[in-house]
């Protein structure tokens, strides 16, 4: 499947990180939290009001707003 | 290490039990203050152990050591500049990968590290096996398994710290960043070593790496150095954003090589924590559960504490009265009783709700729920320019703004936090309710309930509009990113929660207390002098001030009595009623019913301006205690004065509109 960004994926799906867009503090923070090239990330669920979204990466749970998730370029994986 | 004294810094990710380790290491010998220039908590403590005097500093919990977050800058500057003998790095055994990311950066700092592999019982219980011997070999760092909540491994940790401290400074690095970047690092190191003072002060490999990552704070450190131009030359040849990403990749790559060799992970498909979370953040039940928990916390804090507050209140009132009546000369008795004891009492009366609130907050935080609360409310709060973490302090504001503002410390971003602090006073606190009850009851009869409810809604609207205004003017800027760990649910320990409660509570007593006391004495002076007049009467300075202020409040339909009452309301908003009681000659202990009759009988007060008065009471400057805590938490006189001025202007404008428009429409 082709490249997309993390925010468009539905809960239950998995994806492989290709790169992080943007710059500065937000991008660095995303990298520091372990969302680096090649890592597998799972979309767990959306908050009751649809935003933020919860992910599982490197064995722990992380939440990001759609806005931040939109910076993460991924390749969806077959579940 | 000098003589037998050892300086130790504690570093680690948030939610790894760092505070629990700190408590276990230092026991009760702790001091809580702020880091210089910022309101980030700094905890220090000491321990005598085997003839050594060990000093501990608890660094802010961080995931990384970048220049983007104030917590991270504090942590790394402390390690680089203060050069502690040993850095104890607390690592969550259940999440090695992300935790070791910080290890890689601590190693670059040239620190001598001891790893405390905490929560190792949780890891073992779920079937993980961690080979600490292998881990020590790979990392070249001693590793001690700990279970801080049960005190396991603490003595071994202390023994290891002492052993390592004797070894002196350490300069190793682990991460290779690949040929291209390594070449640049080498070039950069060579340049930096041309400046002797610089390379003595900072590990040159670390500084090189940071410069190449585009770290602005690192660049500031070499300002004024003769090698600055050469450094800038190299930086102009590289793509710093690419380097930043590649370096993070490489650190995680190195970790990915090590972790599978030292640990066998047992990943459960669905942990107990995941199951709990399914309920607490459920699509439909998540929000009702959240409100139920908040309601319970609110009730516990403000209802449960009422009898204790009443006891304290009467005790201090009795003591104040006794001193004022019996100590001679009279003015001295009055100063002691009405001024000082009254003021101190006013500070102490807040203890029950503050301590209960902080106990509950600690429990919510330690259990992992507070992060979920932010997760659930973020969408709503972002819409009004705040953060998911702003919700709890805003709600607590309906009880009392003082602990509510102290609770904003869980908000990381400075602008988010400042906005939350500044709009908090518009959440109508419990002290304002008696004022509404009195006037709404006297003039609005059966509509009283609706009027009071509308006042609360008006406060919320004022808070939302103010937040939006601040976010588009003084506190402009992109919303801070929301990238937050959702830690596993854990059972909070009573010890950690009580220590937390005690530290925050005593901080309120020490810092806010002094400001409140000064304010109370000031008001007492105004109400008492010139000597011989009745306390707070027309002839006192306060009364005279009221007359001076009368023209200012006349367009709002207020007379001088209301001006004086509002002036006293600065001490505490419920005093507005007591002050009116004094001015009507009913004495301070007048029953509410009496005041209500007097107010109704006074032709100067009627429905329209009483509505204005209620709105004014809602919006005008926060009480002394709140002003004191705003100063304390923002660390700035400017923002404190802003809060006062903004509140007064808003209140005046609103009351003016109500009175003038209302009169124009023929209401009275």
Q: Closest CB to A47: pick one of B97, B379, B483.
A: B379
CA proximity to B651, closest of B610, B606, B617: B617
Partner A, chain B 126-185, Cβ-Cβ below 8 Å: none
In chain B, what are the domains? 5-165 (3.40.50.300), 179-264 (1.10.287.1770), 512-664 (no CATH)
pLDDT of residue B512: 58
Q: Closest CB to B483: pick one of A19, A33, A45.
A: A33
Q: CA nearest A48 in B: which residue?
A: B283
Chain-chain contact of A58 with B244 (C-beta, under 8 angstroms): no
The neighbouring-strand residues paired with B57 are: B9, B44
CA proximity to B486, closest of B370, B377, B393: B370
CA proximity to B463, closest of B420, B418, B423: B423
Q: Closest CB to B68: pick one of A19, A28, A51.
A: A28
Q: Closest CB to B249: pick one of A37, A45, A60.
A: A37
pLDDT of residue B21: 93
Q: Closest CB to A61: pick one of B380, B483, B486.
A: B486
Q: What one-character-per-residue DSSP string does B617-644 give?
A: HHHSS--HHHHHHHHHHHT-HHHHHHHH
Q: Closest CB to B95: pick one of A27, A30, A60.
A: A60
Please report, for residues B333, B337, B340, B349, B573, the alpha-carbon distance to residue B317 in angstroms, rounded to integers and kept in the order given: 14, 9, 11, 11, 17
pLDDT of residue B172: 67
Q: What one-character-per-residue DSSP string does chain A give?
A: ---EEGGGSPTT-EEEEEEE-S-HHHHHHHHHTT--TT-EEEEEEE-TTS-SEEEEETTEEEEE-HHHHTTEEEEEE--
Chain-chain contact of B284 with A19 (C-beta, under 8 angstroms): no
The neighbouring-strand residues paired with B48 are: B53
Two structure tokens written together for B558: 């207020």
Q: Rounded to whole angstroms, how far apart are CA atoms B287 and A47? A: 10
Number of C-beta neighbours around residue B328 at 10 A: 7
pLDDT of residue B516: 65
Contacts of B243 in chain A (CB under 8 A): none
Q: Say if residues A71 and A22 touch (Cβ distance below 8 Å).
A: yes
Contacts of B63 in chain A (CB under 8 A): 29, 32-33
Contacts of B291 in chain A (CB under 8 A): none
Mean pLDDT, residues B551-563? 91
Burial, A9: exposed, middle or buried (Cβ in 10 Å; 0-12, 13-18, 19+)?
A: buried
A–B CB contacts, 8 A cutoff, strictly below: 124
Mean pLDDT, residues B556-573? 86
**3 state SS of B110:** coil
Q: Say if residues A69 and A41 touch (Cβ distance below 8 Å).
A: no
Q: Which of B210, B289, B374, B482 to mutate to test the interface with A (most CBs of A within 10 A)?
A: B482
Two structure tokens written together for B43: 């905890």
Q: Closest CB to B245: pick one of A31, A45, A48.
A: A31
Residue with tokens 């009730």: B299
pLDDT of residue B146: 95
Q: Say if residues B64 and B72 touch (Cβ distance below 8 Å).
A: yes
pLDDT of residue B515: 64
Q: Please give the mean pLDDT across all residues of chain A.
A: 93
Q: Say if residues B609 and B556 touch (Cβ distance below 8 Å).
A: yes
In chain A, domain spans: 4-77
Q: Tell me the H-state helices in B27-82.
A: 70-77
Chain-chain contact of B483 with A24 (C-beta, under 8 angstroms): no
CA proximity to B421, closest of B473, B467, B358: B467
B283-342 pLDDT tens trace: 999 999 998 998 888 788 778 888 888 888 888 888 888 888 888 888 888 888 877 787
Contacts of A28 in chain B (CB under 8 A): 64, 66, 68, 244, 248
pLDDT of residue B649: 96
B217-231 pLDDT tens trace: 999 999 989 999 999
Question: Averaging pLDDT over each range in B280-284, B434-438, B620-624, which range is the top one?
Answer: B280-284
Q: Rounded to whole angstroms, how far apart are CA atoms B57 and B114? A: 15
Q: Tell me the H-state helices in B267-400.
A: 272-280, 286-302, 306-326, 330-334, 342-348, 351-367, 369-383, 391-396
CA proximity to B331, closest of B535, B537, B522, B516: B535
Q: What one-character-per-residue DSSP string does B111-153 give?
A: --EEEEEETHHHHHHTT-EE-HHHHHHHHTS-EEE-BGGGTBT
B626-660: burial string, b at 16+ Cβ within 10 Å, e else: bbbbbbbbbeeeebbebbbebbeebbbebbbebbe
Q: Say if residues B596 and B602 touch (Cβ distance below 8 Å).
A: no
Chain-chain contact of B284 with A48 (C-beta, under 8 angstroms): yes
Number of C-beta neighbours around residue A2 at 10 A: 5
Please tell me the distance in Å from B285's CA to the nearest CA on chain A. Answer: 9
Q: Rounded to whole angstroms, how far apart are CA atoms B473 and B556? A: 29
Q: Indicate whether A23 pLDDT > 70.
A: yes
Q: Say if residues B353 and B399 touch (Cβ distance below 8 Å).
A: yes
Q: What is the pTM of this model?
A: 0.84
- SS3 of B431-473: the string is HHHHHHHHHHHHHHHHHHHHHHHHHHHHHHHHHHHHHHHHHHC
pLDDT of residue B27: 80
Q: Say if residues A29 and B67 touch (Cβ distance below 8 Å).
A: no
CA proximity to B273, closest of A35, A46, A59: A59
Q: Which of A48, A53, A56, A66 to mutate to test the interface with B (most CBs of B within 10 A)?
A: A48
B148-183: burial string, b at 16+ Cβ within 10 Å, e else: bbeebbbeebbebbbebbeeeebeeebbebeeebee
Contacts of A19 in chain B (CB under 8 A): 245
CA proximity to B61, closest of B10, B101, B98: B10
Q: What angle do CA B351, B353, B357 make, to 5 degrees?
A: 115
pLDDT of residue B503: 79
Q: Rounded to whole angstroms, how far apart are CA atoms B163 and B138? A: 19
Partner A, chain B 366-395, Cβ-Cβ below 8 Å: 371, 375-376, 378-380, 382, 388
Please tell me the distance in Å from B95's CA to the nearest CA on chain A. Answer: 7
Q: What one-character-per-residue DSSP string does B506-534 give?
A: HHIIIIIHHHHHHHHHHHHHHHHPSTTSP
Mean pLDDT, residues B151-176? 87
The neighbouring-strand residues paired with B52 are: B49
Partner B, chain A 12-51, Cβ-Cβ below 8 Å: 19-20, 23-34, 36-39, 45, 47-51
Q: Closest CB to A34: pick one of B101, B382, B488.
A: B101
Contacts of A79 in chain B (CB under 8 A): none
Please tell me the distance in Å from B380's CA to the nearest CA on chain A. Answer: 8
Contacts of A48 in chain B (CB under 8 A): 281-284, 286-287, 376
B519-528 pLDDT tens trace: 777 777 888 8
Query: Using 50, 70 and 90 to split pLDDT, how confident is the model at B586?
Result: low
Q: Is B259 on the interface with A (CB under 8 A)?
A: no
pLDDT of residue B479: 77
Mean pLDDT, residues B134-159? 93
Q: Please give the mean pLDDT across all residues of chain B.
A: 87
Q: Rounded to whole angstroms, how far apart are CA atoms B368 and B543? A: 53
Contacts of B380 in chain A (CB under 8 A): 49
Give the least confident one: B118-132, B495-509, B588-602, B621-635: B588-602
Two structure tokens written together for B25: 């290491």
B55-93: burial string, b at 16+ Cβ within 10 Å, e else: bbbbbbbbbbbbbbbbbbbbbbbbbbeebbbbbbbbbbb
Q: CA nearest B269 in A: which residue?
A: A59
Q: CA nearest A30 in B: which residue?
A: B483
Q: Rounded to whole angstroms, how far apart are CA atoms B8 and A67? A: 40
CA proximity to B114, closest of B80, B153, B150, B75: B153
The neighbouring-strand residues paired with B86 are: B8
CA proximity to A44, closest of A35, A52, A53: A53
**3 state SS of B235:** helix
Chain-chain contact of B244 with A61 (C-beta, under 8 angstroms): no
Q: Closest CB to B482: pick one of A49, A52, A59.
A: A52
Mean pLDDT, residues B532-554? 85
Q: Closest CB to A61: pick one of B283, B379, B485.
A: B485
Strands B113-118 and B143-145, sheet pairing: parallel
Q: CA nearest B244 in A: which residue?
A: A28
Between B652 and B574, residue with greater pLDDT: B652
Contacts of B483 in chain A (CB under 8 A): 26, 29-30, 33, 62-64, 68
Q: Indicate whether B78 pLDDT > 80.
A: yes
pLDDT of residue B47: 93
Q: Rounded to whole angstroms, how far apart are CA atoms B257 and B100? A: 12
Chain-chain contact of B267 with A59 (C-beta, under 8 angstroms): yes
- Within 8 A by CB and 6+ apart from B29, the residues are B45, B46, B47
- End-to-end distance of chain A based on CA atoms, in angstroms? 12
Q: Which CATH architecture has domain A4-77?
A: Roll (2.30)
Q: CA nearest B482 in A: which residue?
A: A64
């Amino acid at each position: 499947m082709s490249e997309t960004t993390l925010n468009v994926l539905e809960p239950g799906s998995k994806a492989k990180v290709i790169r992080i867009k943007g710059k500065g503090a937000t991008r660095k923070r995303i990298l520091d939290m372990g969302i680096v090239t090649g890592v597998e990330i799972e979309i767990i669920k959306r908050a009751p009001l649809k935003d933020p979204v919860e992910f599982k990466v490197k064995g722990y749970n992380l939440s990001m707003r759609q806005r931040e998730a939109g910076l993460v370029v991924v390749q969806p994986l077959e579940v | 290490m000098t003589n037998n004294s050892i300086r130790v810094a504690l570093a680690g990710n948030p939610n790894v039990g760092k505070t629990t380790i700190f408590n276990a290491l230092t026991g009760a010998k702790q001091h809580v203050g702020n880091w210089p220039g910022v309101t980030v908590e700094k905890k220090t403590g000491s321990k005598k152990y085997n003839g050594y005097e060990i000093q501990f500093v608890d660094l802010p919990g961080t995931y990384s050591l970048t220049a983007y977050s104030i917590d991270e800058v504090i942590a790394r500057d402390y390690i680089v500049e203060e050069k502690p003998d040993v850095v104890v790095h607390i690592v969550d055994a259940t999440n090695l990968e992300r935790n070791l990311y910080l290890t890689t950066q601590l190693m670059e700092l040239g620190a001598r590290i001891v790893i405390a592999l905490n929560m190792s019982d949780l890891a073992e219980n779920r079937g993980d096996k961690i080979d600490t011997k292998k881990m020590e070999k790979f990392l070249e760092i001693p590793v001690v398994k700990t279970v801080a909540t049960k005190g396991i491994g603490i003595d071994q940790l202390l023994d290891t710290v002492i052993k390592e401290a004797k070894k002196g400074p350490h300069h190793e690095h682990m991460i290779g960043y690949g040929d291209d970047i390594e070449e640049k690092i080498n070039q950069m190191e060579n340049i930096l070593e041309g400046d002797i003072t610089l390379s003595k002060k900072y590990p040159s490999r670390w500084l090189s790496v940071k410069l190449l990552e585009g770290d602005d704070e690192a660049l500031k450190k070499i300002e004024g150095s003769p090698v600055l131009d050469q450094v800038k030359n190299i930086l102009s040849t590289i793509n710093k954003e690419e380097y930043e990403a590649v370096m993070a990749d490489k650190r995680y790559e190195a970790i990915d090589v090590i972790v599978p060799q030292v640990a066998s992970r047992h990943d459960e498909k669905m942990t107990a924590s995941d199951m709990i979370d399914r309920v607490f953040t459920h699509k439909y039940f998540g929000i009702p559960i959240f409100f139920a928990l908040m309601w319970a916390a609110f009730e516990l804090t403000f209802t449960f504490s009422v009898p204790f507050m009443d006891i304290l209140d009467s005790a201090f009132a009795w003591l104040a009265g006794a001193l004022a009546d019996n100590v001679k000369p009279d003015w001295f008795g009055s100063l002691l009783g009405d001024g000082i004891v009254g003021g101190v009492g006013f500070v102490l009366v807040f203890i029950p709700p503050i301590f209960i609130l902080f106990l509950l907050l600690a429990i919510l935080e330690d259990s992992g729920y507070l992060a979920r609360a932010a997760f659930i409310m973020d969408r709503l709060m972002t819409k009004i320019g705040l953060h998911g973490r702003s919700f709890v302090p805003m709600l607590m504001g309906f009880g009392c703004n003082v602990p509510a503002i102290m609770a904003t410390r869980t908000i990381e971003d400075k602008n988010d936090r400042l906005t939350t602090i500044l709009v908090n006073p518009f959440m109508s606190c419990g002290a304002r309710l008696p004022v509404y009850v009195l006037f709404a009851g006297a003039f609005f009869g059966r509509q009283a309930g609706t009027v009071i409810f509308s006042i609360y809604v008006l406060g919320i609207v004022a808070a939302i509009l103010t937040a939006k205004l601040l976010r588009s003017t003084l506190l402009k800027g992109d919303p801070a990113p929301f990238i937050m760990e959702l830690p596993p649910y854990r059972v909070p320990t009573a010890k950690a929660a009580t220590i937390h409660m005690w530290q925050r509570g005593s901080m309120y007593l020490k810092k806010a207390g002094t400001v409140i006391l000064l304010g109370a004495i000031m008001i007492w002076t105004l109400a008492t002098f010139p000597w011989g007049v009745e306390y707070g009467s027309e002839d006192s300075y306060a009364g005279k001030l009221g007359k001076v202020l009368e023209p200012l409040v006349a367009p709002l339909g207020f007379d001088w009595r209301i001006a004086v009452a509002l002036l006293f309301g600065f001490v505490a908003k419920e005093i507005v009623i007591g002050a009116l009681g004094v001015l009507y000659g009913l004495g301070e202990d007048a029953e509410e019913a009496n005041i209500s009759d007097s107010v109704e009988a006074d032709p100067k007060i009627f429905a329209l301006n009483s509505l204005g008065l209620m709105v004014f009471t809602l919006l005008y400057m926060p009480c002394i205690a709140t002003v004191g805590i705003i100063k304390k938490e923002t660390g700035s006189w400017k923002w404190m004065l802003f809060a006062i001025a903004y509140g007064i202007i808003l209140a005046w404008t609103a009351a003016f509109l109500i009175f003038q428009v209302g009169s124009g429409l023929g209401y009275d």
